[in-house]
Chain A
Amino acid sequence: MRSFFSALLRSKAGLFGWIILSIFVLAALLAPVLGLDSPVRGSLSARLDPPTWTGLFSPGPHPLGTDQLGRDILSRIIYGSRVTLAVAAAAVILGGIVGVGLGIVAGYFRGMTDRILMRLVDIQLAFPLMLLALLVVAALGPSLRNIIIVLALTSWIRYARIIRGQVLAVREREFVQSARAIGSGTLRIMFRHILPNVLTPALVVGTLELARVIIMDAALSFLGLGVPPPAPSWGRMLADGRTYLSTAWWIVTFPGLAIVLTVLSVNLVGDWLRDYFDPKQRGLK
């Protein structure tokens, strides 16, 4: 654990990523106790108020301004992050469990199982993910649960492909052969020998997927196929704000910045994790 923190302190980018991500997660968790305005109920008298600090006329204490219904944008961003982060995390974990599981099964048993699974992956890869997500959400209807399922559906393939490749390599490693030579059962080999050795790549894929899924979630909301209102969502805030582009720039600017910062910090954390776990990079720098 000590080496974890000392390695973190040595990487400025990694540290930056962790800090930003922690701030977002904390804000999301603590949203109800932060004394924010309601994210769903606005006041019509406060419609399209500019951010306080711009020095323009702004009656209410709205640090990032208000939207067309007079709702506080900061509050909506923070409450929106609850939805976005929860949806993205759930989707990535769900996709990860399915993808890692199938990847291990395909890589370990090879043969027919592997061939069928990989064909399935190929088919899905031939389908641009955004189109797939769009179609399925349109078919199932945009509910919280369906969005998570759809995002997980676009996510499992990358895990499965990468983990399968890793397992194919690990299963040829001699310690796996050795485990078979002492008579270990299949489950023991999978859980004690293979799984621990593919968790690191799975974690790295997970962060990359988290970043991708956050953007895709926002894109679906932007198209009106995200988590339905009144729950605040970054993507819909962008879509709504487009109408007021020439009069109220803050409505689209700040939710977008929130997406960029979140995705950036997740990517930085992912890169850092990969470097941290890669023994080739450790020691030699």
Chain B
Amino acid sequence: MTRPTSATSSADAPLVSVRDLTKHYGGGRGFLGASKFAVKAIDGISFDIAPGETLGLVGESGSGKSTTGRVVLQLESPTGGDVLFRGQSLVGLSPRQLKPFRREMQVVFQDPYAALNPRMTVGDFVAEPLIVHKLAKGSERADRTAELFRRVGLDPAFMKRYPHEFSGGQRQRVNIARAVAMEPSFIVADEPITALDVSIQAQIVNLFQDLQESLGIAYLFVAHDLSMVRYLCHRVAVMLRGRIVEMAPTEAIFTDARHPYTRALLSAIPVPDPDIEANRRHLAYDVDANPPAPDAALREVGPDHFLLA
């Protein structure tokens, strides 16, 4: 496995490209022919992710950030737009046609309790990708599974156990082991530390980093915790009501935020320092009064720094 380990600049060919992606829910004809309102979960967003890069996707509940992750992976089909992986369009492919791409793109979910099949041993669960893609059989499969367990910091002796015997942090390690089983080049991490205890979060964040360094994985890191995003991501995209309102290299977002919503978001993060907190002013942003304009587009306002205007 030799892949670029550090972030390459976005001038290189992107690993993942998202173009004008939209996802609307409802909107079809309801019962008795009444037409329902469409909810625009994603409303025309575009971004690229370079190999080995981490893009943070930040927003509040209902911003469409988690939906974006699922649509990028084609777990849900988009209403419009395109998702390209190594330049190939994924939209409209059949499950069979998607299968080779599945080896390359994986996912880690937020809730480590819901993400494990309670009726499967964790060993079988981690090994499932190897079975589905016929990558290893018999003792070789067991060996590779054990190796995966070690890689994520779990004792391979746990392989025969069921999920309910594990704590939240351990479960999330199991999920990560499954996600990296096929040595993917891209992982969507959907709020992977939000549901964990504070004393465990750093363990998982470090694990993500270690895996990126050793395997060169690119991440789409969906989160609402901006301080972790600052720590983990190369670039950050801020979502609001299904739109990306600002996207820039991490430091630019944190030191030179242009969009008022980004600023409001930044001002709201609680900082574990009483002196800073004592003099903080929270900026308010009334989304209902200032929703992202339908005709606005992302424009470059600085090096690699885009703003919806």
A and B touch in the complex (CB under 8 A): yes
A residues at B contact (CB < 8 Å): 173-175, 177-186, 188, 192-193, 196-197, 279
Contact A175 B117 (CB under 8 A): yes
Q: Quick check: is B114 within 8 A (CB to CB) of the other chain? A: yes
Q: Contact string, B231-255, partner A, CB cutoff 8 A, digits 1/0?
A: 0000000000000000000000000
Using known A-B contacts A182-B182, A183-B132, A183-B133, determine if residue A177 contacts B95 with beta carbons closer than 8 Å: no
Bound-state CA distance A186–B94 (Å) is: 12
Contact B103 A183 (CB under 8 A): yes
Bound-state CA distance A180–B175 (Å) is: 14
Bound-state CA distance A118–B132 (Å) is: 33
Closest to B118 in A: A197
Q: A178-B107, A182-B132 are in contact. List 4 more A-B contacts (CB 8 A).
A: A175-B116, A177-B109, A183-B99, A197-B119
Q: Quick check: is B102 within 8 A (CB to CB) of the other chain? A: yes
Using known A-B contacts A181-B75, A188-B132, determine if residue A193 contacts B117 with beta carbons closer than 8 Å: yes
Partner of A182, one of B102, B109, B111: B102
**Most A C-beta atoms less than 10 A away, residue of B103, B111, B120:** B120
Closest to A176 in B: B117
Chain A residues positioned under 8 Å from B115 (CB to CB) = 173-175, 178
Distance (Å) between the CB of B179 and the closest chain A CB?
A: 8
Partner of B111, one of A174, A181, A184, A196: A174
Distance (Å) between the CB of B136 and the closest chain A CB?
A: 14
Closest to A115 in B: B31
Bound-state CA distance A87–B115 (Å) is: 41
In the A-B complex, list the 8 residue pairs whose CB atoms are closest, starting with the nearest: A183-B102, A196-B119, A174-B109, A174-B115, A182-B129, A183-B99, A175-B117, A181-B107
Q: Quick check: is B284 within 8 A (CB to CB) of the other chain? A: no
Q: Is the interface of A mostly helix, strand, loop or mixed?
A: helix
17 interchain pairs, CB-CB under 8 A: A174-B110, A174-B114, A174-B115, A175-B117, A177-B107, A178-B175, A179-B117, A179-B128, A181-B102, A182-B181, A183-B95, A183-B129, A185-B95, A186-B95, A188-B132, A193-B120, A197-B117
Contact A177 B70 (CB under 8 A): yes
Chain A residues positioned under 8 Å from B129 (CB to CB) = 182-183
Partner of A178, one of B99, B103, B109, B182: B109
Distance (Å) between the CB of A136 and the closest chain B CB?
A: 30
Q: Contact string, B107-144, partner A, CB cutoff 8 A, digits 1/0?
A: 10111001111111000010011001100000000000
**Most B C-beta atoms less than 10 A away, residue of A183, A197, A279:** A183
Distance (Å) between the CB of B81 and the closest chain A CB?
A: 20
Q: How large is the interface on B (under 10, 10 to 19, 20 to 34, 35 or more residues)?
A: 20 to 34
Chain A residues positioned under 8 Å from B175 (CB to CB) = 178
Distance (Å) between the CB of B149 and the closest chain A CB?
A: 17
Chain B residues positioned under 8 Å from A174 (CB to CB) = 109-111, 114-115
Count of inter-chain pairs, beta carbons less than 8 A = 65
Q: Quick check: is B178 within 8 A (CB to CB) of the other chain? A: yes
Contact B132 A175 (CB under 8 A): no
Contact B70 A182 (CB under 8 A): no
Q: Quick check: is B296 within 8 A (CB to CB) of the other chain? A: no
Chain A residues positioned under 8 Å from B63 (CB to CB) = none
Chain B residues positioned under 8 Å from A279 (CB to CB) = 164
Contact B95 A182 (CB under 8 A): no
Bound-state CA distance A184–B99 (Å) is: 8
Chain B residues positioned under 8 Å from A182 (CB to CB) = 102, 106, 128-129, 132-133, 178, 181-182
Bound-state CA distance A193–B132 (Å) is: 13
Using known A-B contacts A183-B133, A185-B95, determine if residue A178 contacts B178 with beta carbons closer than 8 Å: yes
Contact A181 B106 (CB under 8 A): yes
Chain B residues positioned under 8 Å from A179 (CB to CB) = 117, 128
Bound-state CA distance A174–B70 (Å) is: 11
Distance (Å) between the CB of A280 and the closest chain B CB?
A: 12
Q: Quick check: is B223 within 8 A (CB to CB) of the other chain? A: no
Using known A-B contacts A182-B128, A182-B132, determine if residue A175 contacts B114 with beta carbons closer than 8 Å: yes
Chain A residues positioned under 8 Å from B181 (CB to CB) = 182
Chain B residues positioned under 8 Å from A180 (CB to CB) = 75
Chain B residues positioned under 8 Å from A181 (CB to CB) = 73, 75, 102, 105-107
Closest to B96 in A: A185
Bound-state CA distance A245–B119 (Å) is: 54
Chain A residues positioned under 8 Å from B164 (CB to CB) = 279
Using known A-B contacts A181-B75, A182-B102, determine if residue A173 contacts B114 with beta carbons closer than 8 Å: yes
Chain A residues positioned under 8 Å from B107 (CB to CB) = 177-178, 181
Bound-state CA distance A184–B164 (Å) is: 24
Bound-state CA distance A188–B131 (Å) is: 11
Q: Quick check: is B301 within 8 A (CB to CB) of the other chain? A: no
Distance (Å) between the CB of A231 and the closest chain B CB?
A: 41
Distance (Å) between the CB of A110 and the closest chain B CB?
A: 13
